[in-house]
Amino acid sequence: MDIATAQRRTLYPPIQPYDSGHLGVGDGHSLYWELCGNPDGKPVVFLHGGPGGASSPDHRRQFNPDKYKILVFDQRGCGKSTPFANLENNTTWDLVEDIEKLRTQVAKVEKWQAFGGSWGSTLALAYAQTHAERVTELVLRGIFLFQQYELDWLYKEGGASSLYPDKWEEFVAPIPENERGDLLQAYRKRLTSDDPALQLQAAKAFSAWEGNVVTLLPSPEVMEEFTEGDKAIAIARIENHYMIHKGWLEEGQLLRDVGRIRNIPGVIVQGRHDCCTPPRAAWALKKAWPEVDLRIVPDGGHLYNEPGILDGLIRATDKFADR
């Protein structure tokens, strides 16, 4: 083991929430939330990926519990939030305002750090560009900007399919050849079907495709998590919903509006071999936002808990812990 690897930071010890509950945010949605760490510590909001993922006990362990007041929550339709896998009134901008409600009604803080990876990085950027005065720092991983080339990379032949041709065949298999010109719409038809069996079959195939591209090396544990019935339904339905609507963002919007956040200290941790959100987007964001600290991890893929990615994230939260 080389010195760099030996010195890599890892998760803080397991902790339990000191408070948790549900917050009604309107439109029939109720969000599950947890507060962890130091009630008087530096506030941070953790934004999970997906869209359609959920929070987990390990997510809160990316912060020093003695120094951070950590708010973790499940986004609309995700995890323990209700109604489950619901697509109505579920947009990027609904979530941005949900974060503000959590800040004022649950965390009860003036400002906080926004921490998010993958889709969570998109949401963190959208939130910070809307409410810049409420964000102390940004810690981002696996940048996804909802630009057309990023959607094409994941859902059209010639992108990630070039690296995972065998898994791509499994992804397109449930869709008849005459519908494969628009896989997102073809899957949407099945994911919103009244036939539970058809919906579940489509959800497992859609979610499995993502499970394959997010890991640097094959992971049976990740695949089991992504294809478990309820999780697959939430990931596939909500992610497909957001992808079809291009995140309710104009093309290039998050790069165009980066001037709103250039005075906010930020760190980006990006895996060199990230096949889900390739480094091109992180590099474009760095060029638009020269002040941000971009750390490209040479042996990193997409997931937060890969050794090099996790090291970068925890070094970032430690760096800002006393700020």
- Catalytic pick from 29, 48, 59, 302? 302
Tell me whether residue 118 is one of the annotated catalytic residues.
Answer: yes
Which helix or strand (DSSP H or E) is residue 22 part of?
A: strand 19-26
The phi-psi region of residue 89 (left if phi > 0; otherwise alpha if psi is between -120 and 50; otherwise beta) is left
Tell me whether residue 30 is one of the annotated catalytic residues.
Answer: no
How would you label 64-91 residue by residue, b for 16+ Cβ within 10 Å and e otherwise? Answer: bbebbbbbbbbbbbbbbbbeebbbeebb
Structure tokens at 76: 């609309």
- Catalytic pick from 98, 257, 274, 311? 274
Q: Are 114 and 73 in contact (CB under 8 A)?
A: no
Q: Are 243 and 155 in contact (CB under 8 A)?
A: yes
- Catalytic pick from 118, 121, 161, 207? 118
| Strand ranges (E), 64-207 | 68-73, 112-117, 135-141
Interatomic CA distance for residues 279 and 144, integer angstroms = 9
Torsion of CA 68, 73, 79, 80, to 10 degrees: 110
Tell me whether residue 302 is one of the annotated catalytic residues.
Answer: yes
Q: Are 303 and 214 in contact (CB under 8 A)?
A: yes
What lies within 8 Å, CB to CB, of 158 at 6+ separation is 152
Residues labelled catalytic: 118, 274, 302
